Amino acid sequence: MSSQGFSVRYFLATIGTSNLAMGVHKVLYPWLVVGVLHESPSRLGLATMALLLPNLLFILPGGIVADRRHRGSWLSFLYLLFLLPLGVLLAAVVYGQLTFTLLLIFGVSFGTILAFVQPARESLLGYAPAEVMHQAVAKMMVVQFVAQGIGFIIAGQLDYISLPQLLGLQMLIFLASSLLMKRCYPLPEKDSVEEAAQAEQSNKSAAQTWLELREGLSLFRNNRSLLHLLFIVFATGFLAFGVYLVGMPLIARELYNGGASLYGILQVVFSLGIISTNFGVMNRVKTFGRPGRLMVISFLLRGSLVGVIATVPPLWLLFPVVFIWGMASGLSMTLGRTILHNQVSHSLRSRAASVYQLCLFGGAPLGAWVCGVTIENLGLGTAFVAIASTTLLVSVVTALRSPLWHISGHIDPAKETAKAQG
């Protein structure tokens, strides 16, 4: 796909608005489970799994669909679709019909749309040159988490802003995101070569769809470094992301007897850690020499910090711990995506991104459910110690046995693609 007509300014604006809405969602959805309906940790894990599980089913088809369509128009349509589940949830709240079952249905619907959004949005990063890919990823991450942090603050005011108002605000923000995406990458003229190619792509047979899916998977099967990247990403989803999604609201509620405000503050502190790391990456002229090694170290650090939280430190110490946790998470996110984008050609990038996201969000729902059940049966502190110990084991094995530990950041995408296809 040509980059003609693509606007970085509107792309970052779309990232900002959509993640503002996602920031509200990330606080509001789990808090509806534990703070409004007062459900158990295992039910919070189940609700989180319902939100993330659609990625297992739809993110790979989502990558194929994104590679066939005009991504600007497709993403604009998907942002509008978010209005449907949010509208149903708003109606349920207004008429007093909010139930756990309805939240599960909402989670599945919202997660399904998100599974199609992620690979299409991720592939737009491919317009950045490989030598500054780390800076492009970092800029997007800064905008993303600054916006999410603002969303966390807004959602943390649930004691002062009514739930219907928050849901209505989310709907307006997603509408704005849809309009901005149309400006970011507008549909070309009808007689353009690109649109004709897109139309031809959309009419491919089911057999061709399967071949395209296999082509995307072969990138990882034939490249051991990329394959091991998926392993560490899955472990991140299962251990780090699972405990973040389920553990964070329970830290606020059970360890510190806090409400939505404390949960929102913890999310803001975590996001500030992500933002600070990526500001540093943005100012780094050269790409990372050993990005895989740094990724494994950051994975180990996050597990260690979970172990620290298990000791129930005072609030003055908890906030710096959560901040460093966010810094390590932000570095890992940037490194993983930089490795991926620098090793995959643009024509396959949506499919490659969908496989990457599948591993991350494929591990997350299972990890969220296991984390919730473990907390309910063993207690929050014991569960966190078990997660920290498992993270240590995975990190050591990866450092000793995985080619990811030695992967270089100075990579020629054309050579790596030829190697994968050969």
pLDDT in tens, 196-224: 454 445 445 555 656 666 666 666 777 77
Check pLDDT > 90 for residue 226: no
Task: Give this prediction's pTM.
Answer: 0.71
CA dihedral over 235, 365, 263, 118, signed as positive or negative: positive
| 3-state SS, one letter per residue, for the chain | CCCCCCCHHHHHHHHHHHHHHHHHHHHHHHHHHHHHCCCCHHHHHHHHHHHHCHHHHHHHHHHHHHHHCCHHHHHHHHHHHCHHHHHHHHHHHHCCCCCHHHHHHHHHHHHHHHHHHHHHHHHHHHHCCHHHHHHHHHHHHHHHHHHHHHHHHHHCCCCCCCHHHHHHHHHHHHHHHHHHHHHHCCCCCCCCHHHHHHHHHHCCCHHHHHHHHHHHHHHHHCCHHHHHHHHHHHHHHHHHHHHHHHHHHHHHHHHCCCCHHHHHHHHHHHHHHHHHHHHHHHCCCCCCCCHHHHHHHHHHHHHHHHHHHCCCCCHHHHHHHHHHHHHHHHHHHHHHHHHHHHHCCHHHHHHHHHHHHHHHHHHHHHHHHHHHHHHHHHCHHHHHHHHHHHHHHHHHHHHHHCHHHHCCCCCCHHHHHHHHHC
Check residue 129 and give its pLDDT: 54
Indicate the range of 237-251, 252-266, 276-290, 320-334 predicted with least confidence.
Answer: 276-290
Identify which of 259, 398, 276 has the alpha carbon closest to the alpha carbon of residue 325: 276
Check pLDDT > 80 for residue 251: yes
Q: Residue 85: which pLDDT band, with cuts at 50, 70 and 90?
A: very high
What is the amino acid identity at position 234? F
Indicate the range of 228-237, 244-253, 401-410 predicted with least confidence.
Answer: 401-410
- 83 or 62, greater pLDDT: 83
Question: CA neighbours within 13 Å on the CB side: how many for 105?
Answer: 12
Task: Give the Cα separation of 98 and 33 in Å (integer).
Answer: 10
Task: Give the Cα separation of 232 and 163 in Å (integer).
Answer: 38
> Quick count: other Cβ atoms within 10 Å of Cβ 286?
10
Task: Give the Cα separation of 125 and 336 in Å (integer).
Answer: 13
Check residue 254 and give its pLDDT: 84
> What dihedral do alpha carbons 142, 147, 148, 150 form, nearest 10°?
130
The percentage of the chain sitting over the pLDDT mark of 70, rounded to a whole number, equals 78
pLDDT tens-digit series, residues 118-139: 877 877 766 555 555 567 677 7
Indicate the range of 154-163, 325-334, 400-409 predicted with least confidence.
Answer: 400-409
Q: Are 76 and 181 in contact (CB under 8 A)?
A: yes
CA angle, residues 349, 271, 234, in degrees to nearest 5: 45
Dig out the tokens for 331 from the structure.
């570095």
Q: Residue 6: which pLDDT band, with cuts at 50, 70 and 90?
A: low
Task: Give the Cα separation of 78 and 127 in Å (integer).
Answer: 21
Identify which of 177, 216, 201, 179 has the alpha carbon closest to the alpha carbon of residue 69: 201
Task: Give the Cα separation of 371 and 368 in Å (integer).
Answer: 5
- Is 359 exposed, middle or buried, given 0-12, 13-18 or 19+ CB atoms closer than 10 A? buried
Q: Residue 271: which pLDDT band, with cuts at 50, 70 and 90?
A: confident
Q: How far is CA 100 from the centre of its chain?
A: 24
Check pLDDT > 70 for residue 225: yes
